Structure 1
Amino acid sequence: MNLGSSVEIITEWDIVAARQLGRNEAKQVGFGTVDQARITTAISELARNIYLYAGKGKIEIERITEAGLFGIKIIASDEGPGIPDLRKVMEDGFTTSGGLGAGMPGVKRLMDEFKVISEPGEGTTIITTKWLH
């Protein structure tokens, strides 16, 4: 069973909308306040990256069940320039925006599963999952 919804990321307000949607979905699945905060932080970081680096994209949030477990899957996708050096982006403390965000390593730490697919010139898709324990 996959119930999902999405937010197009075009303006800074869309980052707020994506966070709100993520918090609501996480609450519906049954996540506590700490995990809700982790999920919304991850969404915020992913949406901000879309806004800053790709200009526009989409955050999709799905409620998922697998082998009796419940969770939430976040898919961040864009058709931006792609990530030229994925290894560098995954280093703690790496920033190109000068921001103090958690960055990609932070998103990976906040969630249980994390996968990046990026093709230079074609865009990036990040799929991350948090399971209800």
Structure 2
Amino acid sequence: MNAPAAGDEHTVPIVSNDDVVRARQTVRTYAQQCRLSLVDQTKLVTAASELARNTLVYGGGGLMRCTVVHRDGRTGVRAVFEDTGPGIPDLDLALTDGWTSGGGLGLGLSGARRLVDDFDLASEAGSGTKVSVTKWAR
């Protein structure tokens, strides 16, 4: 992948475990190119990995779009995960630490939210889920 520039968007379909790895690698490349600190790179990649896995496991697959963004003189990386799965019927419950709809630890969504600077979740039962996360260079 070439070095990303502002507005460049890279889309990764997420339909297999290999795609989860590709999504994580794409986010890492963008984070490195935007000169996020190693700690911030790790936080963003960890959040992206959780969200990509959720897209596959709970959403039945979908896609991730990654892009460089600018705001108030800062540069960051935004990753958006979308699926057309069953959706999340109770967003507040889903964002509660320790809650899980499966056999996991219940740290996926709430943990991802804590790891990034901007977090936006939109979902309705029966109509899929869209999660957008952004990490800003310091």
Please identify runs of 4+ aligned residues in structure 1 that moved more than 3 A: none
Residues 1:51 and 2:56 aligned together: yes
SS in structure 2 of the partner of residue 24 of structure 1: helix
| Alpha carbons 2:99, 2:106 under 8 Å: kept | no
In the alignment, the residues of structure 1 paired with residue 48 and residue 106 of structure 2 have an alpha-carbon distance, to the nearest angstrom, of 12
Unaligned runs of 5+ in 1: none
Q: RMSD between aligned alpha carbons?
A: 1.1
| Alpha carbons 2:98, 2:106 under 8 Å: kept | no
C-alpha deviations, 1:72-102, integer Å up to 9, x for none? 1110101111101111110001112222363
Question: Under a length normalisation based on structure 1, what TM-score does the superposition of the two structures give?
Answer: 0.95
In the alignment, the residues of structure 2 paired with residue 95 and residue 84 of structure 1 have an alpha-carbon distance, to the nearest angstrom, of 13
Question: Under a length normalisation based on structure 2, what TM-score does the superposition of the two structures give?
Answer: 0.92
Structure 2 counterpart of 1:32, which letter? S
Unaligned runs of 5+ in 2: 1-5
| Equivalent residue number for residue 28 of structure 1 | 33
Q: 1:114 aligns with which of 97, 119, 131?
A: 119
SS in structure 1 of the partner of residue 133 of structure 2: strand
SS in structure 2 of the partner of residue 129 of structure 1: strand
